[in-house]
Amino acid sequence: MGLFRKNFVDLCVEHGLLDGGQVETMLNDDLIESGMLDSMGIVTVQTMIQETYGIDIPTPLFIAELRSINNVIAYLYKLV
Amino acid sequence: MPLIELIETNLEKKNHTPIWRFPEEKNEFPISELYDRAIEYAHTFTALGVEAGDTVGFMLNNCSDFVPFLIGLWKINAMAVPLRPHAGSDFDIHAYLNRIEKSCQFKLIIFNDDANEDLINSWTGLSGRQGYRRSEFIGIHPVTIKTDFPSILPSDIAVIQYSSGSTGDPKGVIVTHEMVMNQVRQIDFERRVAGQDKEIESTGSWLPFNHDMGLFIGILHPLFAWSNNILASPRYYMYKPKRWFELQSQYQVEWNFTTNMAMANSLRSLAQLAPGAIDLSLFYLYLSAEKVSPTILRKCYEVLKEFNMPEDHFKVGYGMAENTLGAASTKQGKINTVHVCIDENSNTVQKTDGHDNNAVEVVSIGSPHINTTMTVRDEAGNILPEMTLGEICIQGHCVFPGYHRDEEVSKKALVEGMFKTRDLGFYCNGDLYFYSRKDAMLVVGGRNIAPEDIEDCAEGMEGFSVGGTALIEVEQKSVGTNKLVLLVEMEDKRHRLDLTSERHRIQSEIYQKKGILISTIVFCGKNTIVKTTSGKKRRKAIKETFEKEQKALCGNDSL
């Protein structure tokens, strides 16, 4: 899990979704409420996950449950 | 001379053929090849019965075929209607198409290859008109080759530019071939005035072609300027903004247009590049299509100076489809900003030092383009002096003749050839400043959002009452962007967990139906959404209440 988490966080930093210097403090932030993800940002994250892990995350699931980086990591970890 | 004739003259007389690159497709083509394909497609359009004056819809992502489709269509003097290719999964794209069809009466529509089968079938079935996927259309090879093409008059319609249609009724702005040429000449002139006083050799754009800025900056101006060009899609750009800027550096691109929101979302990605990793010393960046935040502007200066981009290479543009595209822009030197206090009762604007709590910092949109007059007027149409807030009005040779087959709306927008923008602004020391919209329309990321459409969507959900929601836009000064906040009245006190799930349910519903993510949903008590006696929502008062009592409202304490 540790390595998987690190790789996913690095991927988010690479795509400019997270600030490399403040990663640890942002992992539990609500991506939508905090404004880190807008309409376009959701598509970017879905594309990034699809291209990297081959997993399609339905938008309703993303908005309802996977609202933080840690939630996304936990969800993906179960599937890969 | 229409643009298509200029392309043909350039192909004949210029001693170089620009290269257009499509990094997403890993393709590049000389313009001569794109033109040859355009002529093939002109024959295909003709074989499919498209004639001069017919309308053809392009429901396409940005792709290399878009360029020859457009030129080919103009070759037979038909009208192009760029349509929104994406929508939320529940967005009623059939209704959107049918609304536009009423005024356009499409001869045919070209769809993306991965367009929904039901969409194409319902389109061709219901309307009895033609619809082809991109590769299907390209695969048609007509037997009869027509060699004579119709001539094009300056007043012939080149494009009907529709608003996105996710919110509000889409309105079709008429753009004639003369307006196209006037606008591209104007863009080129203003570029020179702003400091790029030489032939532009390399351009780039990722903006969607169905948006006026994407069409003109991505395709039409580069054809006019005969420049090399890099074209990608918004998705390619947003996926890795730094990759896009690396390409601009690699091919020594001299200008891009972007939006405040796109830059806000790109700076973190760009900041990962080592100082000097890319060279943007030749690069100019225009921020347009929405209000520019002084915070974002300063962040842009800070991040992009690491790549040798001078501060005076940033420009701000202002315009809209009704003026073909651009109406004003900042010229030489740094962009001005001003701290002002605005009394919205008397409409007077007073300069302050910025320490006043009521002061706002506004970014200049520069001065009107050549052959364009911009005035600030009161309700009666009188021209207002400097430092007075009023409606920005535009006159000039890029102003549209009206909305396509919509005389009533056209009459309201155009008064003796003058376009009333419904934008509020003021002049200060010769510079024009855009302050806010006159109506309730919100502009986020270059996209117009009609609040009532989002509210209708939420109010149509089970458990919410009609008239019980209000969408407002709240400035986040420290971040430099605006966020959308939906206030939702609730009668009963629900458990906090229920509120969280309700909040997510509303966000999901609106995103799927309208393609817009509302970052903040605030539940509030009855009568927070105040209304006039006629039942109209008093948006200004609602927003003021929210800003004053934000903490209480966001904490759900008002329930």
Residue of B nearest to A60 (CA): B508
Distance separating alpha carbons of residues B368 and A2, to the nearest angstrom:
57
Look up residue B465 and give its two tokens. 């009452």
Beta strand spans in B458-519 (E): 469-476, 481-489
The band of B557, judged by pLDDT with boundaries at 50, 70 and 90, is very low
Q: What pLDDT does B165 receive?
A: 58
Q: Which of B261, B508, B522 to mutate to test binding with chain A, by most A CBs within 10 Å of its CB?
A: B508
With bands split at pLDDT 50, 70 and 90, how would you rate the model's confidence at B559? Answer: very low
Q: Classify the C-alpha dihedral B399-B405-B407-B413 as positive or negative.
A: negative
- State the smallest CA–CA distance between residue A77 and chain B in angstroms: 22
> Predicted confidence band at B552 (pLDDT cuts at 50, 70, 90)?
low
The predicted pLDDT at position B558 comes to 41
Q: What is the pLDDT of residue B494?
A: 61
Instruction: Give the pLDDT band (50/70/90) at residue A15.
Output: confident
User: Which pair of tokens denotes residue B372?
Assistant: 């364009």
Neighbours of A6 (CB within 10 A): 12
What count of Cα atoms within 13 Å lies in the side-chain half-sphere of residue B422?
13
Residue B32 dihedral angles phi and psi, to the nearest 5°? -55, -40
Q: Which residue has the higher pLDDT, B215 or B466?
A: B215
Mean pLDDT for B189-207 is 94
Is A17 close to B234, i.e. CB distance below 8 A?
Answer: no
Say what percent of chain B tops pLDDT 90.
70
Please state the pTM of the whole predicted model.
Answer: 0.88
* Alpha-carbon gap: B293 to the closest alpha carbon of chain A (Å): 16
List B82's β-bridge partners, or say none.
B58
The three-class DSSP label of residue B144 is: coil
Mapped onto helix, strand or coil, the DSSP state of residue A27 is coil
Report how far apart the first and last C-alpha atoms of chain B are (Å, whole number).
65
Q: pLDDT tens digits, residue range A64-73?
A: 889 999 999 9
Higher-confidence residue of B15 and A1: namely B15
Contact A63 B507 (CB under 8 A): yes
Residue B32: the pLDDT is 97
Q: How far is A58 from chain B (nearest CA, A)?
A: 10
Q: Do B445 and A63 touch (CB under 8 A)?
A: no
**Res B127: pLDDT:** 64
Q: What is the dotted CATH code of the domain comprising A2-79?
A: 1.10.1200.10
Per DSSP, B491 falls in state: S
Identify all chain B residues contacting A38, using CB atoms and an 8 Å cutoff: 261, 265, 445, 517, 519
Q: Place B450 in a pLDDT band, splitting at 50, 70 and 90.
A: confident
pLDDT tens digits, one per residue of B37-46? 999 999 999 9
User: How much is the average pLDDT of B23-47?
Assistant: 97
* Cα–Cα distance, B86 to B453 (Å, whole number): 18
CA separation for the pair B70, B219 (Å, rounded): 10
DSSP string, B213-270: HHHIIIIIHHHHHT-EEEE--HHHHHH-HHHHHHHHHHTT--EEEE-HHHHHHHHHHH
Q: For residues B433 and B425, is the Cβ–Cβ distance under 8 A?
A: yes
pLDDT at B88: 55
Mean pLDDT of chain B: 91
Spatial CB neighbours of B98, under 8 Å, sequence gap ≥ 6:
B126, B127
Convert the pLDDT of each residue in B69-121 to its tens digit.
999 999 999 999 999 887 555 567 888 888 898 889 999 999 999 998 888 88
**pLDDT greater than 80 at residue B169:** no
Cβ separation B517–A42 shorter than 8 A: yes
Contact B130, B83 (CB under 8 A): no
Task: State the nearest Cα–Cα gap between A73 and chain B, in angstroms.
Answer: 19
- Closest Cβ–Cβ partner in A15, A40, A47 for B269: A15
Rounded CA-CA distance B249/B28 in Å is 17
Q: Taking CB atoms and an 8 Å limit, are A38 and B241 in contact across chains? A: no
pLDDT of residue B183 exceeding 90: yes
Determine contact, residues B454/B463, Cβ cutoff 8 Å.
no
The sign of the CA dihedral B452, B454, B459, B464 is negative
Chain A residues with CB-CB distance to B265 below 8 A: 16, 38, 40-41
Pairs of CB atoms within 8 A across A/B: 76
Encode pLDDT of A40-65 as tens digits: 888 889 989 999 999 999 888 888 88
Q: Which residues of B touch A21 (CB under 8 A)?
A: none
Quick check: B312 pLDDT over 70? yes
- What pLDDT was estimated at residue B167? 60
**A38–B240 CB contact, under 8 Å:** no
Instruction: Give phi and psi for B97, each to the nearest 5.
Output: -65, -40
Chain A CB contacts of B502 below 8 Å: none
ipTM of the complex: 0.86
pLDDT at B103: 87
Tokens representing residue A18 in the block: 């997270």
| Chain B positions with Cβ closer than 8 Å to A | 89, 234-235, 238-242, 261, 265-270, 272, 445, 476, 479, 481, 483, 501, 504-505, 507-508, 511-512, 515-517, 519-520
The pLDDT of B51-78, averaged and rounded, is 97
Q: What is the pLDDT of residue B419?
A: 97
Distance CA B489, CA B556 (A): 11
Q: Residue B340: its pLDDT value, please?
A: 95
Q: Are B72 and B42 in contact (CB under 8 A)?
A: yes
Q: What is the predicted pLDDT for the residue at B556?
A: 47
The total of other beta-carbon atoms located within 10 Å of residue B462's CB is 5
| CB contacts, 8 Å: B240 with chain A | 14-16
Q: Inspect the interface and report whether the beta carbons of A64 and B445 lie closer than 8 Å.
A: no
DSSP class of A56: P
Q: What is the pLDDT of residue B495?
A: 57
Amino acid at A64: A
Of residues B558 and B403, more confidently modeled: B403
Question: Counting every residue, how long is chain A?
Answer: 80
Query: pLDDT tens-digit profile of B245-276?
Result: 999 999 999 999 999 989 988 998 999 899 99
pLDDT in tens, B452-486: 889 989 998 988 888 999 999 998 888 888 889 99
